[in-house]
Amino acid sequence: MNKFEIEHPKPEIKYKHIFFDLDHTIWDFDKNAEETLYELYDIYRLNEIGLPSAALFIETYTRNNHQLWAEYHTGRITKTELRETRFKRTFIELGVHPEVLPVAFEDDYVKLCPTKTNLFPHAHETLQYLQNKYTLHLISNGFKESSELKIGNTNIGSYFKHVIISEIVGVNKPDKAIFEHALSLAEAEKHESIMIGDSLEADVYGALNFGMDAIYFNPFNAPRPHDVPLQVTHLKELTLLL
């Protein structure tokens, strides 16, 4: 028995269904966004409108985007508000005059970013292993068109029996309604199901408050709250845990 197995004994419950998050859990959102933004930085010549550092631009955008997604998860802002705000806020924060903001930047980002194919390490290997033991499903708070592109371009769709996208369902994680919908679609019971995701609020507490077990995917090894029972820092650890 290795160190991981000692610290993370396999759950006594026999699960039948595993529900995964997509962005920041399987699809490496930040890495794909970074690739996209470096390309758009050059295409739009952002250095010429007062942004001499692509790295600072990406760092600022990433912070703003994470904050806005947290607000979107909890229904405080809409999809339209998220998309209208994240780059505008970033440009203005970095001193770009409103009159020279690149108008089509958001549209080009939305078209390009979902075509990127970076997944977290061992994603295919882990999903293949788990698919042989469990029925896998996906629950994403992402948007329909971009989520479908991400799944298709990375060839991960075949691992999942059902793909539940919040924009289609009309409700976001952590709302219990989306978990109810997912379990109903999967013909699964709470006690035989587990959620895996990176967002404490949307994925972990969303599932736990619904009465379903959860594993916190924590690739940056952030402090784990005391009330979060299980976490992994690499996807491959799931093959030892489940």
State pLDDT tens for residues 151-203: 999 999 999 999 999 999 999 999 999 999 999 999 999 999 999 999 999 99
| Sheet containing strand 135-140, strands side by side | 160-165, 135-140, 17-20, 193-197, 213-217, 231-232
Separation of alpha carbons 20 and 124, rounded Å: 13
Give residue-wise pLDDT tens across range 94-148: 999 989 999 899 999 999 999 999 999 999 999 999 999 999 999 999 899 999 9
* Interval 60-72 mean pLDDT: 93
pTM, entire model: 0.90
Host H or E run for residue 227: none
